[in-house]
Amino acid sequence: EQLSYAAEKALKDGGEKVPAEVRTDVEAKINDVKKLKDSDNKQAIENASKALSDAMQKIGQAAYQGAAGAQNGPQAGPAAGANDKGPVEGEVVDDKK
């Protein structure tokens, strides 16, 4: 039940970023899990839950691809000479040379 709620929330949060075929697949898997929630067939419940979990990963991939696509413009990188400032926090420097 928690997994189906999480999937529904992910679909809602993903909005239009989630492709229609992914949305349809996830919704079908949600329905499968809901149908089996009162079943005594533990294996069927586990299989449906795994299938839903796998389908949910596609939502994350779609969101990630959408975010990556939005950032395809010029990216700010470290300025030239940025590493010439000496040791960085957490960097081990051996001064006993």
Mean pLDDT by 10 residues, the chain (97 residues): 87 85 91 89 92 89 71 55 59 66
| CA 40 to each of CA 34, 43, 48, 51, 65: distance values in angstroms, whole numbers, following the listed order | 13, 9, 13, 18, 39
| CA distance linking residue 6 with residue 87, whole number of Å | 44
CATH of domain 2-70: 1.20.1270
pTM value?
Answer: 0.61
pLDDT of residue 18: 85
| Cβ atoms within 10 Å, residue 29 | 22
The full set of domain ranges for the chain reads 2-70
pLDDT of residue 14: 82
